Structure 1
Amino acid sequence: MPTSVPSTAAAFTALDWLVLVLYLVATSAIGVWLGRGQKDAKDYFVAGGEIPWWAVLFSIVATETSALTFISIPGLAYLGDFTFLQVATGYLLGRIVVAYTLLPRYFEGNLVTAYALLERRFGLATRRLASVTFMVTRAFGDSVRLFATSIPVALILGGVLPPEWTAPGAILVLSVFTLYYTYHGGIRAVVWTDVIQTGVYLLGGVGALYLIGRGVDGGWARIVADADAAGKLRLFDLSLGLDKPHTLAAGLLGGAFLAMASHGADQIIVQRLLTANSLRDARRALIGSGVAVILQFAMFLTIGLGLWALYEARTFSAPDRIFPTFIIEGMPPGMTGVVIAAILAAAMSTVSGSLNALAAATLHDIWTPLKGVPDDRTALRLSRRFTLLWGAILVGGALLYRAEGTPVVVIALSIASFTYGGLLGGFFLALLWPRAIQRDAITGMGVGIFVMSIVVFAGRLSAAFPALAGPLAPVTGIAWPWFVLIGTAVTLGTGILSSFTHAAAPRAS
């Protein structure tokens, strides 16, 4: 199949630089302008509940679409097929469950953070444990996502800066712009810049599809025909083993539990839902985002399929280098800048949301219970200071991260799954088991997170301590989509058993 891929990388032109710089400056300026007139921390964190549902929907999608989606998802189809969409379908099912279970509780309580719900049911210590767990998980996961953004940018800047400065330079530039508008604009700036950023990266994805089709003789008709013959259009894998990540069972069950945790127990998404005008609007945004994510994943998998045809299944040093290589080699001047801006847009939406959510959790779950409720001016000042603090932590983590052979998207999802089960199990215990008290919740969450630390790191523990290889063998090969389900089951089961060691407690009103 003849292709038209250039043999050498095209230079990043002045037009590309102009597009990229204009995007960064415009996004930052718009974000600051949208955040003007803030009065207190509630306005800074939930925008007074005045954001329309469709903007919340786009913001949720943009938050989920980090640079990992751009970089790693095409690599999954390049090396495999379309079975990852089974996981995306599970994501939709999980959202529906959250929309009719946890979401009404958040709106009834007029809350700012998700973990305040746990305090009302169990007590302050449970709220703090859940909030700190969220902070640690989000800091680690988004440091990896921030690092992932540096991969394509480093390829571009490789001829401009010394090799040792390319990745750090990309991380720092991205972080400075994102931190600037998040610090000044708060959640209102985060949501509305997410809407803009969604349009930018969708434009980049559509542009990539068009250029790939032009680069292959016979266009997309030829690509689809060859992919079908090679079995790369497969959607369903009916295998029942726990060692495969993209099976129907892992996708529907594991994906649903992962979505329940990420959209029902993770502050970064819950906070966006709380900016909606009403419970009805929040439900529309949450469920609608599930449909949008399926379509979006399908687009990026299709890009990977096209690259498989374009590059004639050539081997790359790492899956995460496949699409970035095409951006540099196969795109005309100007379009390269648009797609790099799209990657930055995906990353900026995730990082800005994380900074705002982490600051909200720090102020409301940690600072306020210890120091008391501050006045409006002090609360707003503290909110911005905590945003700066978490910005420094995320940048530091990204600069210290070292890449491995595993696709970055799998690493990030594994990090999230490590603690999500404990968090989701705590919320399920609050909703489903009236007998439980704070001790049961903390015990369940602690045991769940401990067990998942063994499951997630079983392979590394076996390599480091050969004597453990035998005992850990049953869990070493468990695929990441099962992590949240297992962690939730362990947490819920432990909490229920613990509750029988004391007299039943009435459900809090």
Structure 2
Amino acid sequence: MSTLDWFVLFGTLLFIVSYGVWKTRGSHNIEGYLLGDKSMPWWTIGLSIMATQASAITFLSTPGQAYQDGMRFVQFYFGLPLAMIILSVFVVPIYYRLRVYTAYEYLENRFDLKTRTLAAFLFLVQRGLAAGITIYAPAIILSTILGWPLGYTNLIIGVLVIIYTVSGGTKAVSQTQKQQMAVMMGGMLIAFIVILNLLPEKVGFTEALSVAGSMDRMNVVSFDMEFDDRYNIWSGLLGGFFLAMSYFGTDQSQVQRYLGGKSVKESRLGLIFNGLLKVPMQFFILLIGLMVFVFYQYEKPPVFFNQAALEEVSGSSYADSLQVLNRQFDENFAEKRALLDEFAVAGEEESGRIREQLVQKMETQENIRSQVGKLVEGLDKDLEGKDTDYIFIHFVTNYLPKGLVGLLLAVIFSAAMSSTAGELNALGSTTTVDLYKRSIKKNGSDKHYLIMSKVLTFLWGCIAIGVAMVASLFENLIQAVNLLGSLFYGTILGIFLAGFFIKHIKGNAIFVAAIIGEAVVFGFYFFSEIGFLWYNLIGCGTVILAALILQMTGNQVKN
């Protein structure tokens, strides 16, 4: 990287951290620290919600997802707008009426202490692991690109987040997330414009979409009803709806964002703002990945985007095999490139034939890349054979002009920091309010709980860094985070929905039902091939059905 890139990168990060510490200095009570004095307007709430969800994984993995699999991942978010409306109408007023610090306080009022503790525990396990992944995921890629040791990169991200999150609490998180969202979306918009300018002179945006469509990448909506398909309109509307309901309605990292609103109206507007913009934002990020895909149809891509891993294979006993695959890759690319030139001037009759040949060439290319991935895995089991998460960052570091490389790296760091800050803030709040204050020290002073909130937030930050230090990559980082959420969110949502809408279910029934629901979800995870988005519906449905049966049979026994 150039000196200018380093200046842009560290200047942006230091400004965000300093701004967060300065803007929120002097949180003197627990309400100010955990809820930001309930002073945040709707646009701050909306941006904070989006920034907490939009981790670095979003900006690293989503473009790569589009490159490999097309646009269909956007269906994952189709259920989100409806979830925002339902939460705004039914859930937000309940939280405000009860004046809770965390979502799980409601469960004790509705059921009992053990149900509250169980839900808080499930959240802490899931979100504690996720916080480590949101640090580790960008760190392992950034360390490869920048040539830094992985441990140092984990520490840099984690420590920067801890500084302002511990210092200013919820208000610091929300204030810095506004700046981070500006950096993230501004940087991605600039990247999109640069990509279009890098395409061949006769390939405009419309022609680029045509090229992507000819290779089956414009698959925005799929109506196929296949339960083992992760992304179709049914899994998006149903599974995505239940995931969004649970994430935004019961996950403290999101609930805490809108509990700090000035009023019910402000919190509702913040959620609706997120519902209106989230799908277009994800579509745009996928579209950037699609344009990177088109760019690499004219500019020869590497046979494997993780260059550090490729260099290790080149210096190993697999070098000869790699050379053979490289030659095959080059020949296939030259043939595919010639077909693209034909496609650009072909008539309607010829274009169908050429499209079939392009798809075949693309399949051959991906097969060669897959074989290279197997060489990587064969060389070192700790190396990842999938390079999806390196596609966009490879483009950024090799084709963007000086200054913009630093800006795009700042986008990724900012996204990691914004998401992790929201998670640490929620982990500290939940541990303080739902476990420490409720079951360990019930009669402490306001100052005592303020200090403990900061201490516990700091400890969760250290735990997240520790998880990042020992983590290993999944097939795709954005899928890993969503899978982790889907394993727990359905059960938690089932508890809350029973509390909100089924008044005759009591504490003992819902507690046992939650344990059954979690067991069923893990059973599907280990023993079936069903797409993970369905876990949210399965977990939620199992909890509610089991609770109804247990409550009914329990009443009959008593009678």
Do both proteins adopt the same fold according to a TM-score greater than 0.5, normalized to the shorter chain?
A: yes
Alpha-carbon distance in 2 for matches of 1:155, 1:208:
21
Alpha-carbon distance in 1 for matches of 2:12, 2:423:
21
Show CA shifts across 1:268-327 (max 9, x none): 100111011111111111121022111110111011101111122855441111111111
Alpha-carbon distance in 2 for matches of 1:107, 1:269:
15
Q: Tell me, yes or no, if structure 1 residue 220 matches structure 2 residue 205.
A: yes
1:347 aligned partner: 416
Query: Which residue type is aligned with residue 534 of structure 2?
Result: W
1:236 aligned partner: 221
Q: Tell me, yes or no, if structure 1 residue 246 matches structure 2 residue 246.
A: no
1:127 aligned partner: 116
Deviation, structure 1 residue 208: 1.2
Q: 2:294 aligns with which of 309, 314, 329?
A: 309
2:61 aligned partner: 72
Deviation, structure 1 residue 430: 0.9
Deviation, structure 1 residue 152: 3.5
2:450 aligned partner: 380
1:363 aligned partner: 432
Q: Tell me, yes or no, if structure 1 residue 153 matches structure 2 residue 142.
A: yes
Show CA shifts across 1:328-380 (max 9, x none): 11111110110010111111111111111111001100011121142121111
Contact between 2:437 and 2:449, CA under 8 Å: does it hold in 1?
Answer: no
Q: Tell me, yes or no, if structure 1 residue 207 matches structure 2 residue 190.
A: yes
Q: 1:419 aligns with which of 454, 465, 488?
A: 488
2:547 aligned partner: 495
Q: Tell me, yes or no, if structure 1 residue 15 matches structure 2 residue 4.
A: yes
1:462 aligned partner: none
Matches within 5 A, 1:90-489: 90-158=79-147, 161=148, 165=149, 167-217=150-200, 218-312=203-297, 314=301, 316=304, 317-370=386-439, 371-404=441-474, 406-456=475-525, 458=526, 472=527, 476-489=528-541
Deviation, structure 1 residue 98: 1.5
Secondary structure of the 1:322 match is helix
Contact between 2:78 and 2:233, CA under 8 Å: does it hold in 1?
Answer: no
Alpha-carbon distance in 2 for matches of 1:494, 1:293:
34
Alpha-carbon distance in 2 for matches of 1:441, 1:394:
30
Alpha-carbon distance in 1 for matches of 2:140, 2:478:
13
Deviation, structure 1 residue 23: 1.5
For structure 2, list consecutive stretches of 5 or more residues without a partner in the other structure: 305-385
Alpha-carbon distance in 2 for matches of 1:255, 1:240:
15
Contact between 2:60 and 2:389, CA under 8 Å: does it hold in 1?
Answer: yes
Deviation, structure 1 residue 229: 2.5
Farther off after superposition, 100-109 or 115-124: 100-109
| Count of residues paired in the alignment | 470
Q: Tell me, yes or no, if structure 1 residue 38 matches structure 2 residue 27.
A: yes
Secondary structure of the 1:237 match is coil
1:51 aligned partner: 40
Deviation, structure 1 residue 126: 0.9
Alpha-carbon distance in 2 for matches of 1:368, 1:407:
38
Deviation, structure 1 residue 230: 2.5
- Identity, % of aligned positions: 31
Alpha-carbon distance in 1 for matches of 2:119, 2:443:
20
TM-score norm. by structure 1 comes to 0.90
Deviation, structure 1 residue 88: 1.4
Query: Which residue type is aligned with residue 374 of structure 1?
Result: G
Farther off after superposition, 205-214 or 105-114: 205-214
Contact between 1:16 and 1:335, CA under 8 Å: does it hold in 2?
Answer: yes
Deviation, structure 1 residue 44: 0.4
For structure 1, list consecutive stretches of 5 or more residues without a partner in the other structure: 1-11, 459-471, 505-509
Contact between 1:72 and 1:319, CA under 8 Å: does it hold in 2?
Answer: yes
Show CA shifts across 1:359-411 (max 9, x none): 1001100011121142121111111100111001100001100113x111111
Deviation, structure 1 residue 258: 0.5
Contact between 1:151 and 1:324, CA under 8 Å: does it hold in 2?
Answer: no
Structure number with bigger Rg: 2
Secondary structure of the 1:329 match is helix
Show CA shifts across 1:122-158 (max 9, x none): 1111111111110000011221121111144213322
Contact between 2:165 and 2:421, CA under 8 Å: does it hold in 1?
Answer: yes
Secondary structure of the 2:500 match is helix
Contact between 1:67 and 1:145, CA under 8 Å: does it hold in 2?
Answer: yes
Alpha-carbon distance in 2 for matches of 1:394, 1:37:
26
Alpha-carbon distance in 2 for matches of 1:143, 1:59:
20
Farther off after superposition, 72-81 or 246-255: 72-81
Alpha-carbon distance in 1 for matches of 2:99, 2:236:
33
Query: Which residue type is aligned with residue 539 of structure 2?
Result: G
Alpha-carbon distance in 1 for matches of 2:463, 2:9:
25
Alpha-carbon distance in 2 for matches of 1:147, 1:85:
24
Query: Which residue type is aligned with residue 46 of structure 1?
Result: L
Alpha-carbon distance in 2 for matches of 1:28, 1:79:
35
Query: Which residue type is aligned with residue 329 of structure 1?
Result: N
Alpha-carbon distance in 2 for matches of 1:73, 1:373:
47
Deviation, structure 1 residue 240: 0.7
Farther off after superposition, 426-435 or 128-137: 426-435
Secondary structure of the 1:246 match is coil
Contact between 1:39 and 1:376, CA under 8 Å: does it hold in 2?
Answer: no
Query: Which residue type is aligned with residue 77 of structure 2?
Result: A
Deviation, structure 1 residue 241: 1.2
Contact between 1:94 and 1:255, CA under 8 Å: does it hold in 2?
Answer: no
TM-score norm. by structure 2 comes to 0.82
Contact between 2:76 and 2:231, CA under 8 Å: does it hold in 1?
Answer: yes
Farther off after superposition, 144-153 or 443-452: 144-153
Contact between 1:360 and 1:383, CA under 8 Å: does it hold in 2?
Answer: yes
Contact between 1:86 and 1:235, CA under 8 Å: does it hold in 2?
Answer: yes
